[in-house]
Amino acid sequence: MGHFNIVQLIIIWGPPVLFAITLHEVAHGWVARRFGDPTAQMLGRLTVNPLKHIDPIGTIIVPAVLLLLHTGFLFGWAKPVPISPRNFKNPRRDMAIVAAAGPLSNLGMGIIWALVIRLVALLYPTLPWIEPLIYMGLAGVLINVALLVFNLIPLPPLDGGRVLVGLLPRNAANTVDRIEPYGFYIIILLMITGVFNVILMPSISWISQLLLPAGFLP
């Protein structure tokens, strides 16, 4: 996307990023509501209005810095949707399913954006101005696959960690659960050292290539 200026890049990446992080959180809240926890609904978080979910750092500053630095990788997050597991009939199982809903929503959005690319590509010969929509679809695939893979890391407080806690025997789950207060610092350390790139990028690239039409390489 090197031939686009910064304003065009913001326009291309903005909607996919906002949808990816907003619907990720809405998915958590919606599934929690299905399992008996109305907390997110009561706080007005079961909405696709991004203003209800924006985190100034994760939704605006981090993606903007990555975009300005031309890192080739965009990432972000929204305010977590509040969940009260005590409202679940089976807290460990239900919390694991609620946690899985976020990454699964990103997989679904990645598939939808890939279909958008295929649709608009059919129109491309007659509508040259539709090229930005193709790149927006590409951005949608990449950001959603990145969120899918990142959030499935089995480390609390990430969704993958919560899924792991729900699957493990209780004693082992309690051990993993105790990592959560330090999870954020572990994530930052892994990012700074580049370990995440080594671990995540092959999976992100592989899944993206499965979704994208031939010739669209991330």
35 secondary structure, DSSP code: T
Q: Which residues contact 169 (CB under 8 A, 6 or more apart)?
A: none
pTM for the complete prediction?
0.88
Q: What is the pLDDT of residues 79-136, one digit of tens each?
A: 889 999 999 999 999 999 999 999 999 999 999 999 998 888 777 666 666 778 888 9
Alpha-carbon span 192 to 205, nearest angstrom:
20
Question: Whose structure tokens read 């305010």?
Answer: 79
One of 25, 37, 94, 159 is an active-site residue; which one?
Answer: 25
Let me know if 25 is a catalytic residue.
yes
